[in-house]
Structure 1
Amino acid sequence: MTPDADLGYRALSMMGPHTVARLARELGMSQRRVSRALDELAAVEAVRPVRTAANAGYCSKDGLVWEAVALDRVLHTLRQRRTPDSALERWRRHITTVSGVGLMALEDASVRRWPTRATARQRASTLIAAERHEHLAINTEEVFDAESTAAALPLDNSMLARGIRLRVLGRPPSDGDRSSAYATALGRSGGMYRELQTLPLKLMIFDRRVAFLPSDPLDLEKGYVEVADAEVVRALAGMFDRLWADGRDPREQGVPPIDLSNREQSLVHLLAMGYTDQSAAQELRLSVRTVAYTMRSLMDRLGVENRFQLALLLGAAGAAPQPPRYGDSDTKEA
């Protein structure tokens, strides 16, 4: 979802039903932006309009009040719409690609087969160590977890430190998570990462001289094929360039990681838990003016207009605890 839609959904989830006008006032946004965000959310059944007497006090001129659909139902709907590729589809894409570049007709002299994943990794490490100019990679996994990301970054950074140009293509995560931590971390070191919904095969290309791809796209434990034929490698590199041109940087719509200082972390945590500026200042042994200055500086740095927007942005990025949601038992009692 776009940042506006994400913001709108979180606001309705925590504050309850709102009209467009009232939600725009709360978020400090124009009604046009809020309407577009609600249209986007309604298209995936994340929000719905209601016309009930119970909400009469909130009604707009057209009688519409918008409320958020329960998160578990939203996620279920999104996952149903995103049907995972079947094994047959993945196999067909792989075979079509290798056939199209003439790989199946190559002589054995230009092809080496590494029979297991372990031997393939050792060979890939040797090829990476010998690279001097450029490394291209396509990852077809739909789930690239934090552990895999943490393991990949040191190798990526070592290549970048040697002056190698690194470009990586991946797929958007199947669960809809728009976190862009990997793209951000890679970008800080000078690497580039883009995503594309459909990728034909898993692939590595070393200095546009050698290509590395799985022997069996459905079982990576069966090893990899190394190709040194100039025409085939050129065709695969050209395919990568075309896919790259169509890819999108996930940071354009994702939620970038937010780094807070120790003081900012402590202050944000207390305010999210219901402390006032004065009580938070007493707890942290700061002046009220310092608390206000810290919050204003943080809002300016993150480009938000008020504390409500700041709270939602920090919550979306996982940099602050989420405040109670509308309908929670503790909210009702309060």
Structure 2
Amino acid sequence: MTVDVVAAEGVPVVTSSVPIGAALPSLVRWGLSSDADLVFRTLATFGPRPRRVLSSELGLPVRRTDQALAELHECDAVVSTDDSRAAARIWTARRPAEVVTALRTRRLQIVNAEARERSHHAVLRALRATPVGRDLPLVTAPGTPGTCADGVRYLSSRDRARTRLAEVLGSDIRDFLTMSNDQAIDAESARAAAPLDLALLARGVRVRVLALPPADGDPLDVSGHLVNGTSFQRRESPGVPLKLVIVDHRISLFPADPANLERGYLEVSRPSVVQALIRLFERQWDGAAAHLALPAIRLSEREQKLITLLAAGHTDQSAAQHLRISARSVTGILRALMDRLGVENRFQLGLALGALRVAAPPSLALPDQES
């Protein structure tokens, strides 16, 4: 849907390319003011506008509108025509995805790769210095695949490690621990992990993930279909010592060469070593910050009815008819809820409301409930 608007000062306004009601990222998350976020949302949704039209439509004083535009212009989120008179300039929002990418890049804090490798080797050296791990491989990656010590097996490629992990996770397990010193998950790894994650969640396996904070500093990272409050728990720590998974307190896997994951993984099933790695995980877990602490929220009666209808499969239009409001009002209610919870889209909103136990599962929703 696009909207044709004519500015009050006779300046034609170009139609918007962003559908009304489409989820837009919150620029507040990237350090911008709420005024700047509001002005950007307006320009991105309804199209280019001069400052006075923006000020009038949003009910903002011209001074605050000018400050918001200056803030957006400084981070290249908006552009304007070259008219020398400020009142005559037409402001246009850049594509939201491009703006977010630029803001992320500006805030990137990349972990030093050499420091990450040193941390990995320090953990293994400490293990080898104890009686429980003295015969672990002395070299980074053993030359021959297969058993290389008592209770230690070398999986000589990343694909072999993934296959083995899928095999182990497919058995009857109750607990899965993982530490990750990756700041971003590549698409191939995400595709490989998604079916396993879904299966673990469906089986009620307790999953705990300890990870580095994201490189871009984004405080919100809803991990796909998994949210704190279910059997999945996630915490962040800036000092994750190595990449590690531990399955059911009996099998652990970690990279054979932290500088090159394609060289495969070591699988350790020796109980004494696994227990030492579990103790390492628990120390790191206890010192980490809980991730995605959702704010408490109480839904109004109308919000609760709307969420229940949508959970039961209603469209915006049919939910609006049940509630005797307009479809645009439905969009407004959902947008307000997204902003209150700091999420970007309806999928994340559903996850957040489910985690807070304020939305009924579809099987319990009442599709024929009248307002």
The verdict on how the C-alpha distance between 1:156 and 1:14 changes in structure 2, with shifts beyond 3 A counting, is closer
* Partner Cα separation in structure 2 for residue 249 and residue 264 of structure 1: 35
Asked if 2 retains the 8 angstrom alpha-carbon contact of 1:183 and 1:251, the reply is no
CA offset digits 1:72-91 (Å, max 9, x no partner): 77555423xx14313x2121
The equivalent position to 1:217 in structure 2, one of 246, 258, 272, is 258
Structure 1 residue aligned with 2:119: 93
Structure 1 position 290 matched with structure 2 position 326:
yes
CA shift for structure 1 position 198: 2.8
* Partner Cα separation in structure 1 for residue 288 and residue 224 of structure 2: 13
Structure 1 residue aligned with 2:201: 160
CA offset digits 1:79-132 (Å, max 9, x no partner): 3xx14313x212110011112233751362122112222322232223223342
CA shift for structure 1 position 253: 7.5
CA shift for structure 1 position 179: 4.5
* Partner Cα separation in structure 1 for residue 234 and residue 267 of structure 2: 24
The verdict on how the C-alpha distance between 1:147 and 1:126 changes in structure 2, with shifts beyond 3 A counting, is closer
Structure 2 residue aligned with 1:149: 190
Structure 2 residue aligned with 1:106: 135
The verdict on how the C-alpha distance between 1:289 and 1:228 changes in structure 2, with shifts beyond 3 A counting, is closer
Structure 1 position 173 matched with structure 2 position 209:
no
Q: 5+ unaligned residues in a row in structure 1: which ranges?
A: 28-54, 268-280, 305-309, 321-334
Give runs of aligned pairs for residues 245-260 of structure 1, distance below 5 A: 245-252=286-293
TM-score when normalising by structure 1: 0.59
Structure 1 residue aligned with 2:174: 133
CA shift for structure 1 position 204: 0.8
Task: Name which of structure 1's ranges 258-267 and 137-146 shifts more when overlaid on structure 2.
Answer: 258-267
The verdict on how the C-alpha distance between 1:266 and 1:6 changes in structure 2, with shifts beyond 3 A counting, is farther
* Partner Cα separation in structure 1 for residue 205 and residue 32 of structure 2: 36
Specify the code of the residue in structure 2 equivalent to 1:100.
Answer: A
Structure 1 residue aligned with 2:46: none
Structure 2 residue aligned with 1:202: 243
* Partner Cα separation in structure 2 for residue 126 and residue 264 of structure 1: 43
The verdict on how the C-alpha distance between 1:287 and 1:118 changes in structure 2, with shifts beyond 3 A counting, is closer
Where 2:245 maps in the other structure, the secondary structure is strand
The verdict on how the C-alpha distance between 1:74 and 1:112 changes in structure 2, with shifts beyond 3 A counting, is closer
Where 1:252 maps in the other structure, the secondary structure is coil
* Partner Cα separation in structure 1 for residue 124 and residue 213 of structure 2: 24
Asked if 1 retains the 8 angstrom alpha-carbon contact of 2:213 and 2:237, the reply is yes
TM-score when normalising by structure 2: 0.54
Structure 2 residue aligned with 1:70: 75
Where 2:178 maps in the other structure, the secondary structure is strand
* Partner Cα separation in structure 2 for residue 12 and residue 109 of structure 1: 64
Q: 5+ unaligned residues in a row in structure 2: which ranges?
A: 1-26, 44-50, 77-98, 137-148, 296-306, 348-371
Specify the code of the residue in structure 1 equivalent to 2:326.
Answer: T
Asked if 2 retains the 8 angstrom alpha-carbon contact of 1:144 and 1:173, the reply is no
CA shift for structure 1 position 252: 3.1
Structure 2 residue aligned with 1:58: 63
Give runs of aligned pairs for residues 295-306 of structure 1, distance below 5 A: 295=331, 297-298=333-334, 301-302=337-338, 304=340
CA shift for structure 1 position 173: 2.7
The verdict on how the C-alpha distance between 1:101 and 1:295 changes in structure 2, with shifts beyond 3 A counting, is same
Percent pairwise identity: 25
Aligned length: 253
* Partner Cα separation in structure 1 for residue 187 and residue 33 of structure 2: 25
Specify the code of the residue in structure 2 equivalent to 1:155.
Answer: L
Give runs of aligned pairs for residues 256-275 of structure 1, distance below 5 A: 263-264=315-316
* Partner Cα separation in structure 2 for residue 78 and residue 222 of structure 1: 32
CA offset digits 1:14-36 (Å, max 9, x no partner): 689x9xxx9xx979xxxxxxxxx
* Partner Cα separation in structure 1 for residue 250 and residue 241 of structure 2: 20
The verdict on how the C-alpha distance between 1:253 and 1:219 changes in structure 2, with shifts beyond 3 A counting, is farther
CA shift for structure 1 position 220: 1.1
The verdict on how the C-alpha distance between 1:99 and 1:253 changes in structure 2, with shifts beyond 3 A counting, is farther
Asked if 2 retains the 8 angstrom alpha-carbon contact of 1:184 and 1:251, the reply is no
The equivalent position to 1:11 in structure 2, one of 28, 34, 38, is 38
User: RMSD across aligned C-alpha pairs, in angstroms?
Assistant: 4.5
* Partner Cα separation in structure 2 for residue 120 and residue 6 of structure 1: 43
**Structure with greater helix share of residues:** 1
The verdict on how the C-alpha distance between 1:198 and 1:266 changes in structure 2, with shifts beyond 3 A counting, is farther
Where 2:150 maps in the other structure, the secondary structure is helix
Structure 2 residue aligned with 1:185: 226
Asked if 2 retains the 8 angstrom alpha-carbon contact of 1:115 and 1:222, the reply is yes
The verdict on how the C-alpha distance between 1:26 and 1:208 changes in structure 2, with shifts beyond 3 A counting, is farther
The verdict on how the C-alpha distance between 1:214 and 1:148 changes in structure 2, with shifts beyond 3 A counting, is closer
Where 2:170 maps in the other structure, the secondary structure is helix
* Partner Cα separation in structure 2 for residue 221 and residue 292 of structure 1: 51
